[in-house]
Amino acid sequence: MPELPEVETTRRGIAPHVEGREIVEVVVRQPRLRLPVPDNLVDRLVGARIGRLERRAKYLLMPVAEGSVDSLALIWHLGMSGSLRIARLGELPRKHDHLDLVLDDGALLRYHDPRRFGFVDWLAGSREQDPRLARLGPEPLSEAFDGKRLYTLSRGRRLGVKPFLMDNAVVVGVGNIYAAEALFLAGIDPRRAAGRISRARYDRLAAAAKEVLAAAIRQGGTTLRDFVGGTGEPGYFKQRLNVYGRDGEPCRRCGAELRRVILGQRASVFCASCQH
């Protein structure tokens, strides 16, 4: 599924085309997404102007000014296979193009989602009030996320360090791909109990998570199946993956065969020689 770098790539890709634009038409082809498309979406969006796009974890936030009211915001989630891209007026929709926001310059913001696990909804008040955002941990590229936080929250925890790192209450947006890659860079076995890892090793893990996420964002995210960025261009970080999806292949660092285990109901690939 699209992870934080893919969502951030989408935000950066579509923002220059939609921010400040007026919505002149809304086309809903398929209202039955993970959450039903709100009944009042068309009425409230037509004539509204789009504000500055933001990202929180894997959610995209789109403020819209409706007449004199500027406190409304849409919240988008791309689910397992969703994407937002820019199209032009007259460009025929593809199968699974479920929703268009038609803008005043002839551009379209088009939502595509074969599995329909994503959604668009109204933000419930402020970020602090919306239950989808209220309990989220810090952004991984912010100063609030560091080894000290990981060390403090992990004390007494017996679960593996990989599912611990993927807990959105600990830090947001470090999904399966990037947790596996960060643990490899830090040299930590994903099976190790979170509470048995030292502060120094957590410092390395936090730095590794920041490194791998920043690199993925710079390179446009990770292409997996049907994800495309906001301009229709796929990401290409997959070419640089060290362990994710490479079970049975040689480690790029030492040549040992990479192993696959199940942790927290998710597959995890690691190098038993390099990661301890």
Note if 22 is an active site residue.
no
Q: Are residues 22 and 114 in the same domain?
A: yes
Q: Are residues 163 and 114 in the same domain?
A: no
Q: Are residues 17 and 100 in the same domain?
A: yes
Query: Which of 88, 122, 156 lies at the terminal end of a domain, its last residue?
Result: 122
Determine, yes or no, domain membership for 12. yes
The total number of structural domains in the chain stands at 2
Determine, yes or no, domain membership for 8. yes
Token pair for 34: 């993970």
Determine, yes or no, domain membership for 135. no
Question: Taking the alpha carbons of 6, 150, 142, 74 in that order, is the dihedral positive or negative?
Answer: positive
CATH number (domain holding residue 69): 3.20.190.10
Q: Are residues 118 and 161 in the same domain?
A: no
Q: Are residues 256 and 154 in the same domain?
A: yes
CATH number (domain holding residue 175): 1.10.8.50
Strand partners, 233: none
Determine, yes or no, domain membership for 169. yes
Query: Which of 122, 139, 164 lies at the terminal end of a domain, its last residue?
Result: 122
Q: Catalytic: which of 49, 127, 253, 266? A: 266
CA-CA distances (angstroms) from residue 194 to 165, 166, 199, 265, 272? 9, 12, 11, 17, 17
Note if 3 is an active site residue.
yes
pLDDT given for residue 78 in this prediction = 94
pLDDT given for residue 45 in this prediction = 95
Determine, yes or no, domain membership for 139. no
Per-residue pLDDT of the chain (276 residues; tens, 9 = 90+): 678 998 999 999 999 999 999 999 999 999 999 999 999 999 999 999 999 999 999 999 999 986 545 568 999 999 989 999 999 989 999 999 999 999 999 999 999 999 999 999 999 988 888 999 999 999 999 999 999 999 999 999 999 999 999 999 999 999 999 999 999 999 999 999 999 999 999 999 999 999 999 999 988 766 544 455 666 665 656 667 999 999 999 999 999 999 999 998 899 999 999 999
Residue ranges at the known binding site for DNA: 96, 115, 157
Determine, yes or no, domain membership for 228. yes
Note if 6 is an active site residue.
no
Note if 58 is an active site residue.
yes
SS (H, E, C) the chain: CCCHHHHHHHHHHHHHHHCCCEEEEEEECCCECCCECCCCHHHHHCCCEECCCEEECCEEEEEEEECCEEEEEEEEECCCCCEEEEEECCCCCCCCEEEEEEECCCEEEEEECCCCCCEEEECCCCCCCCCCCCCCCCCCCCCCCCHHHHHHHHCCCCCEHHHHHCCCCCCCCCCHHHHHHHHHHHCCCCCCEHHHCCHHHHHHHHHHHHHHHHHHHHCCCCCCCCCCCCCCCCCCHHHHCCCCCCCCCECCCCCCECEEEEECCEEEEECCCCCC
pLDDT given for residue 179 in this prediction = 96
Q: Are residues 102 and 153 in the same domain?
A: no
Q: Are residues 37 and 73 in the same domain?
A: yes
Q: Are residues 157 and 95 in the same domain?
A: no
Token pair for 239: 């070419």
Nearest Cα neighbor of 174 from 121, 182, 116, 225 is 182
Q: Are residues 175 and 116 in the same domain?
A: no
Residue ranges at the known binding site: 96, 115, 157
User: What domain range is 28 assigned to?
Assistant: 4-122
Query: Which of 53, 88, 122 lies at the terminal end of a domain, its last residue?
Result: 122
Burial class from Cβ neighbours inside 10 Å (0-12, 13-18, 19+) for residue 143 reads: exposed
CA distance 244 to 5: 15
Determine, yes or no, domain membership for 133. no
pLDDT given for residue 128 in this prediction = 82
Q: Are residues 107 and 185 in the same domain?
A: no
Determine, yes or no, domain membership for 129. no
Q: Are residues 110 and 35 in the same domain?
A: yes
pLDDT given for residue 239 in this prediction = 61
Nearest Cα neighbor of 212 from 188, 187, 230, 237 is 237
Q: Catalytic: which of 44, 55, 56, 58? A: 58
Q: Are residues 168 and 240 in the same domain?
A: yes
